[in-house]
Structure 1
Amino acid sequence: MVETVIVLFNRDLRVRDHPALAAACAEARHVVPLFVLDPAVQNRGRAGFLAESLADLRASLRDLGGDLVVRRGDPVAETVRVARDVGASAVWASGDVSAFARDRERRLARDCRTERLEFRLFPGVTVVPPGLLKPGRGDHYQVFTPYWRAWTVTRWREVVAAPEQVSLPPGVEPGVLPRVRGRPYLPGGESRVWPRLELWLRHCLTGYAAGHDDLAGDRTSRLSPYLHFGCVSPLELARLAARNEDFVRQLCWRDFYHQVTYAFPDISRRDYRPRRRDWNEDKEAADAWREGLTGLPIVDAGMRQLAAEGWMHNRARLIVASYLTKTLQIHWRTGADHFADLLLDADIANNSGNWQWVAGTGNDTRPNRTLNPIRQARKFDPEGEYVRRYVPEINSIPDKSIHEPWKLASPVPGYPAPISAVPQ
C-alpha cells in the first residue's frame, strides 16, 4: 500500500464520482486533498461561487474523516511543498484541457520527476476523456455530428462511489478558505447542486426538448456552473439523464469542445479556422453591447441578465453573440472575454468554442450563419416576457411593439434607439 498521496483538486470540487480521490483512498494509507488558490486565475465574478464550493467540499471531506488542505500561490510549487511536508510519494489529479491547465500539468509532471514523486492523471472533467475518440484522419473530430455518433456508441466508465473514509496524515495544517464576498446568484457546492438536480430531473427533463429554448419559461437546468467547477460529475449526470437524448446531446457538445481544445489549446486566442475578415473596432458599439444599451430589447435583455446573474439563457447567448460578431462585426474575442469575466460557467473550452462557432471561425459547417435577433425574439419570446423582465424601460410598450420599440411614433423614455441598422 502507498503511504501518502496528494489529490490535487482543480475543476472537480466533489467527492462523488471522483476517480483520483477514490483511487487514492483505496490505494493509500493517507490522502491529502489539496486545493491551491492560484492568483493567476482569480476572477471576481466567480469568486463567491468558488468560495462556497470549497467550503462545501471541506465539509464533505471532514464528514469522511479528512479535510481540504488549502494553499495560496503557484499550484506546482505549493503542491511540491506540501508533498515534502507530508512525505507524499505521489500526486494525482483530474486531467484538464486548456492551455493553462496543460502547462500546469506539464510543470507538475516535471517537478514530480525531480522530486521522485509519481504523477498520475485521471478522468473526471468530461463524460468521455478528451483524447479518446479520434476520426479516421486527424487527431480530433472537427465536426460535431460524427463526434456525436462516435460518442454515443463509446462505452463509458462506471460511476465511482464517494470514498467511505479519507485519512489525512497527522499534523497537516488545513489552511484558510477564501471568504465569500457577496452571495453568488446560484449557491456553490456539491451538496447544493443535488437537490436542484434531482428536482429538475423529476419535473423538467421530460419536457426539455420542447422548453429549453423558451426564454421566458426558463426551463433550462442551470447546471452549467456546477459542471464548470466539477460540483457534479458530467458522467453521473449523463447517466441519470440518459432517457432524454436532447439533454444528453448538450453534454456531448460540452465534451466535443473539450476534445477540440485538447487538440487546439489556443482556442481562446486564435481562430480555429482562420478566415479573411476585417473586424470592426467600434469601441462605443462594443460598450453599448456590454452594457445592454444597443436599442434591441432581446439583445439588451440577455446582456443585462448576464450582468445581474452571472448567467444567461443559452438561446440568448446565441442571439447576443451573433449580433456582436455578425451585425456589429466586432471580433469574437471581445464577446468571449466579456463572458469569461462575468459567467459563472465560463470554462475556456465551451466559452471559446461556442463564440467561434457563432462567429464562423470555429466548428460550424455554415460559417456565414446569422441569427436575426428580431425573428429570434418573436419565436422564443413571443409575448415579450423575457425582455420585460430585464429591460424595464419598455414595460409600457404594447405587446405588438415590444421587440421593435423604434417603430413607435415617439421614442421610449430612457431607452436608446438602435445603435446599428436593424436586421429585417
Structure 2
Amino acid sequence: MSVSVALFTSDLRVHDQPVLRAALDGAERVVPLFVLDDAVLAADFTAPNRAAFLADCLADLDASLRARGGRLVVRRGDPARVAALLAEQTGAAAVHLAAGVSGYAQRREDRLREALGDRLRVHDAVVTVVAPGSVVPAGRDHFAVFTPYLRRWEQAARRQPAAPPRRVSVPAEVRGETPAQVRAALAAAGAGEPSPALPRGGETEGRRRWHAWQAAQLTGYQDHHDDLAGDATSRLSPYLHFGCLSATELVGAAESVRAAGAAPGPGAEAFVRQLAWRDFHHQVLAARPDAAHDDYRPHGDRWEADAQEVAAWREGRTGYPIVDAGMRQLAHEGWMHNRARLLTASFLAKTLYADWRVGAAHFLRLLVDGDLANNQLNWQWVAGTGTDTRPNRVLNPLTQARRFDPQGAYVRRWIPELAGVEGAAVHQPWRLPAERRAALDYPQPIVDLSAAAQRFRHGRGLY
C-alpha cells in the first residue's frame, strides 16, 4: 500500500490542514509525524510556558487523529534525519511540510530537501493566510510598510480551507514516543514551572475559545480591543502560534460574518486587520531572517544598560502602575494584553532606553505565543528600529493609562498593593499624601519621564 508522511511543525490541527490533506490525497496510508527537534529543545526558545502548551497541543492532536482511526507519531532528533529514515522504513513516496519563515525553519527545509530530494512537498499559506513573498512591491522582495501591504493582501488570492479528514490510516508497524514520554521530554526542556494561569493548549480548546469569542465579542472588537480592563481581545494568539487554529479559516469566518451583516460595526474588519499584521511580520522575517536579532533599520543607538532598571521592569516594580500591571500579567498568565505589550515595550526601549533585544528575550521566555516574527518585529516597531514610519514616537505611560485604563481597573487587578486607591489616582500613587503612600508598599518611579525623554533623544542623536 502507498504511504506518505505528514510532518507537523507549526500546524498542530486537523481542521484546514493542507499538509495532512495532501498526504491523505496522495497515499493510502499516512504517518502523521512530529519531531521533538533536539536543536529546539536545547535552545532558550523552549521556555516552560511554551513547552507545557506544546505538550497539550500534541496530546490533543493525537486524540483527534485517534478519533479518525489514526494516531500521532512523535520521535526525537533532527527532523531531516528522522523524516528521511521514516520515509525509507515505510517506503513513503512523499513527505509533506508547511513552509516556515524563520531562518531556522528555512535551514530545516534545506536539510529536508537535501535528505529527501524531490520526495519533499512544501505547502505555502498553511501558517499564514497569504504566503510570504507572494505579495511584493515592484523591485523588492517584501513590503516594509503595513498599509500598502494590507491593500495588496486584501486583494490576494487565497486557498479554500481544507475539510478535516474523516479517516486516517497509519501503518501499524510505525512506532514513536508515548504521550508520557513526550510530556516528560518537554517538561525537561522547559526547565522550570509554567505560569500559574497558563491556558490549556490544543486545537479543541482553541476552537472552543474561537467560537465563544466570535459569538460574544467580534462585533465590538473595534471599539473594545484596546480596553485593558475590558479584556475583549480574542486571546487566540497562542493557538495561532502553534497552528491549532488556521488563520485562513479565521479570516474566512470573520469575513462571512461581516458579509452576512451579523456584525454591523467594523469589528470583523478590525479583527481581520490584526491577522494581516501577523502575515506582514511573517513576510518581513521570511525576507530578512536577520531581523530576529539585528536592527531592521539601524539608527546608531547607544543603548543604556542599567541592570537595576531592567530588573525592575522585568519584576513589575518600575513605579509606573500601568507598566507594572502588564509585566505582572505576563508572569502570571504567560500572556499579555496587546496594548500592554506596546506600552511596556516602549517603556523599556524608549523610556529606559534599553536595547530592544533585552526585552524581546524576556518576552520570549514567558510568552506562550512567543512567535519569533511577531515578537521580534513588534519589539523593533516599538523601539523604532523596525517598520514604524515614526521611529521616534514614545508612548507615555501616564497618557496611555488615562486612555486605556481610565478608572484603573486593570492596574488594581494586577497590583494588589494599589487595590485600595480610588479612581484614576491609582496611576500616580506618588502624588498621594506621604503617610498613605508609605503604607502602600509600592515603589517610587525608577525614572523621571522628562529626564528619560532627554536620555532617549541624546542616545538617538536627535539633538
The question of a shared fold, defined as TM-score above 0.5 by the shorter chain, is answered with yes
SS at match of 1:179: helix
Structure 1 equivalent of residue 78 of structure 2: 74
1:88 counterpart = 2:92: yes
Please say if residues 241 and 248 of structure 1, whose CA atoms lie closer than 8 Å, have aligned partners that are also in contact: yes
* Alpha carbons 1:67, 1:168 under 8 Å: kept: yes
TM-fit CA distance, 1:175 = 2.0
Amino acid at match of 2:7: L
* Residue 235 of structure 1: aligned partner: 248
Aligned mates of 1:274, 1:334 — CA distance in 2: 16
Aligned match for 1:310, one of 317, 334, 356: 334
Q: How does 1:178-189 map to 2 (within 5 A)?
A: 178-179=182-183, 185-189=198-202
Q: CA deviation at 1:184?
A: 6.0
Cα deviation digits, residues 339-381 of structure 1 (max 9, x gap): 1110011111000110000000000000011111001001110
- Rounded to whole Å, the distance in 1 between the matches of 2:425 and 2:216 is 34
* Aligned residue among 321, 329, 352 for 1:297: 321
TM-score under structure 1 normalisation?
Answer: 0.96
| 1:165 paired residue among 154, 164, 167 | 167
Would the aligned equivalents of 1:296 and 1:403 in 2 still touch at CA under 8 Å?
yes
Amino acid in structure 1 at the alignment position of 2:174:
V
Q: How many pairs does the alignment contain?
A: 421
C-alpha distance in structure 2 between counterparts of 1:418 and 1:40, whole Å: 41
1:418 aligns with 2:417: no
Could you list the per-position Cα deviations for residues 14-35 of structure 1 after superposition, in whole angstroms to 9, with x for gaps in the alignment?
0111111101111111111100
1:46 to 41, 50, 70: 50
Kept after mapping to 1: 8 A contact 2:319/2:442: yes
**Structure 1 match to 2:20:** 21
**Structure 1 residues 184, 81: CA separation in 2 closer, same or farther (over 3 Å shift)?**
farther
Is 1:224 the equivalent of 2:237?
Answer: yes
Deviation string, structure 1 residues 222-250 (Cα, Å, up to 9, x no partner): 00000000000000001111221111000
Instruction: Please state whether the residue corresponding to 1:207 is helix, strand or coil.
Output: helix
Superposition pairs of residues 18-417 of structure 1, within 5 angstroms: 18-41=17-40, 42-113=46-117, 117-177=119-179, 178-179=182-183, 185-242=198-255, 243=258, 244-410=268-434, 411-412=437-438, 413-417=440-444
Corresponding residue SS for 2:149: helix
TM-score by length of 2: 0.88
Q: Report how far residue 210 of structure 1 moved.
A: 0.5
Q: Secondary structure at the match of 1:36?
A: strand
Q: Using the alignment, how far apart are the partners of 1:187 and 1:15 within structure 2?
A: 18
Whole-angstrom CA distance in 1 between matches of 2:162 and 2:119: 25
Alpha-carbon displacement from aligned partner over 1:9-68 (angstroms, at most 9, x marks no partner): 010000111111101111111111100112332321211111011000001111111110
Could you say which structure has the higher helix fraction? Answer: 2
Which runs of at least 4 in structure 1 moved beyond 4 Å after TM superposition?
A: 180-184
1:286-328 deviations in Å (ceiling 9; x for gaps): 1110110101000000000000000000000010001000100
Deviation of 1:119 after TM superposition, in Å, equals 3.9
In 1, Cα distance between the equivalents of 2:337 and 2:121? 39
Distance 2:105 2:441 in 1: 45
Q: Distance in 2 between matches of 1:381 and 1:120?
A: 45
Deviation, 1:176, is 1.8
Moved more, 403-412 or 7-16: 403-412
Shift of 1:125: 0.2
Q: Secondary structure at the match of 1:266?
A: helix
The 1:234/1:67 distance shift into structure 2, 3 A limit, reads same
1:302 and 1:317 in contact (8 A); partners too: yes
Supply the distance in 1 between the matched residues of 2:398 and 2:124 (Cα, whole angstroms).
46
1:146-187 CA distance string (max 9 Å, x none) = 000001111211111012211111211132232276676211
Equivalent residues of 2:13, 2:61 under 8 A apart: yes
Q: Distance between the aligned counterparts of 1:259 and 1:304, measured in 2?
A: 31
Q: Deviations over 1:184-227 (max 9, x none)?
A: 62111111111211111111000000000000010000000000
1:122 Cα deviation (Å)? 3.9
Asked if the contact 1:289/1:324 (under 8 Å) is kept, the reply is: yes
Deviations 1:117-150 (A, max 9, x none): 3443343100011110011121110000000000
AA at the equivalent of 1:39: D
The 8 Å contact of residues 31 and 171 in structure 2, kept in 1 or not, is answered as yes
CA distance in 2, matches of 1:369, 1:352: 18
Is the 2:22–2:96 contact (alpha carbons within 8 Å) kept by the matching residues of 1? no
Cross-structure match for 2:460: none
Cα distance in 2, alignment partners of residues 194 and 56 from structure 1: 12
CA contact (8 A) 1:20 1:122 kept: no
Stretches of structure 1 that go unaligned for 5 or more consecutive residues are none
Q: State the secondary structure of the residue aligned to 2:284.
A: helix
- C-alpha change, 1:46 and 1:351, in structure 2 (3 Å) is same
> What is the SS of the residue equivalent to 1:8?
strand
Q: Distance in 1 between matches of 2:122 and 2:382?
A: 36
Write out per-residue CA displacement over residues 383-408 of structure 1, whole angstroms, 9 at most, x where no aligned residue: 10000011111112232420011112
